[in-house]
Amino acid sequence: MDNPIGVFDSGVGGLTVLDYMLHQFPQENMIYIGDNAHCPYGDKTKAQLLEYTKRICDYFVSQNVKMIILACNTTSANVLEELQNLYKGIPIVGVIHSTVHEFLARHHQRVLVIATQATIHSHKYRQMILQYNPDTVVYELATPQLVPVIESGQYKAGVHDLLNQYLSAYKKQVDAIILGCTHYPVLLNQIQEVFPNVDYISSSASICQEVASYLKNHQLENQSSCTGNIQIYTTGDPQKFFQSSYGFFDFQNFIVKHLDL
């Protein structure tokens, strides 16, 4: 089936998911939307998140997508079930389920989840991890300043002190860190410098296996031998979107366009 896959995030962070998908599913057509007009999502209410994501999903429906991926932990934690109930004809998946299963497969006992305020306040990671392994020690830490830093494009300088401020109290306390925001892989090298010698689980990488299994099991794979068509949109300023992300995402010949929603 050559219908596109819809992928969205609050901004540029979901490009870390799109990047994995481009490598794993090169033949698939995809539409990416960064909702920069409302970024960051981490300080928004559930009602606001549902309003924003419904507009995006309505657009995806108009484009006849075969699947919608919430490349965003905040929406995966807060409005995934509501969206699944509203759009029952289209499979909608978030990133938390697959990330938790990736964590569990690595058999760690003490984990720090770093994410936006809205994701942490939902306690979705804690609840799901403890559901499968009640003996796990789960620390949760809201890191609200990281997304704005990444969206500003200034993440290569001056972020060390901020990361140390957030993470220093947890050194020697955990053996794994879950990057519970798809923006955070952009800072992985800097985070590893501040907090070495632990295992990192990325929600951006984990989702691809779940998507691959779903497409195969439901016979939704694009059987074409050609490279898929990729459309990238932002509800904000395309130039700012590009400037924020060109340092970590290979745009190839992709053109970022503005989308009114």
User: What is the tens place of the pLDDT at every residue in 146-188?
Assistant: 999 999 988 777 799 999 999 999 999 999 999 999 999 999 9
Residue 180: per-residue pLDDT: 97
Amino acid at 236: G
Identical fold for domains 5-93+205-258 and 96-203, yes or no, is yes
Residue 106 token pair:
């690595």
Chain mean pLDDT for the chain? 95
Using a pLDDT cut of 70, give the percent of the chain over it: 100
Token pair 């997304």 is at which residue? 147
Report whether 41 belongs to an annotated binding site.
Answer: yes
Res 155: pLDDT: 79
- pLDDT for 191 equals 96
74 is in an annotated binding site: yes
pLDDT at 182: 96
pLDDT computed for residue 173 by the predictor: 96
Q: Is the peptide bond before 134 cis (omega within 30 degrees of 0)?
A: no
72 catalytically annotated: yes
pLDDT bracket for residue 235 (50, 70, 90): very high
Residue 45: predicted pLDDT: 96
Q: Which pLDDT score is estimated for 193?
A: 94
Nearest to 229 by CA among 20, 49, 4, 35: 4
* 14 confidence band (pLDDT: 50, 70, 90): very high
**Domain residues of the chain, as ranges?**
5-93+205-258, 96-203
Q: Which of 39, 72, 208, 226 is catalytic?
A: 72
CB neighbour burial string for 148-169, b if at least 16 within 10 angstroms, e if fewer: ebbbebebeeebeebbeebbee
Q: Taking 90 as the threshold, does the pLDDT of residue 8 lie above it?
A: yes
Task: Say what the pLDDT of residue 158 is.
Answer: 76
Write down the residue that tokens 């807060």 correspond to: 78
CA dihedral sign, ordered 30, 2, 53, 78: negative
> 253 labelled as ligand-binding?
no
Could you please state the CATH topology (level 3) that the domain comprising 96-203 is classified under: Rossmann fold (3.40.50)
5-93+205-258 carries CATH number 3.40.50.720: no
**Residues 109-136: pLDDT tens digits?**
999 999 999 999 999 999 999 999 999 9
pLDDT for res 253 = 85
pLDDT of 153 reads: 87
* pLDDT tens string 185-232: 999 999 999 999 999 999 888 899 999 999 999 999 999 999 999 999
Within 13 A of 46's CA, how many CA atoms are on the CB side?
11
Q: What is the pTM of this model?
A: 0.95
List of long-range contacts for 239-247, beta carbons under 8 Å, 24+ apart: 240/36, 241/11, 241/12, 241/34, 241/36, 243/153, 244/11, 244/12, 244/150, 244/151, 244/152, 244/153, 245/12, 245/15, 245/153, 247/153, 247/156
17 has a pLDDT exceeding 80: yes
Which residue among 39, 181, 208, 226 is the active-site one? 181
Q: State yes or no: 183 annotated in a binding site.
A: yes
Is 182 part of any known ligand binding site?
Answer: yes
For 169, which DSSP code?
G
Within 63-187, residue ranges assigned H as helices are 73-78, 80-86, 96-105, 117-122, 124-132, 146-152, 160-167
Cα separation values, 249 from 41, 60, 65, 183, Å:
21, 23, 23, 12
Alpha-carbon distances, residue 227 vs 34, 223, 224, 231 (angstroms): 22, 11, 8, 13
Strand order in the sheet with 67-70: 92-93, 67-70, 5-9, 30-34, 230-234, 256-258
Q: Is 181 annotated as catalytic? A: yes
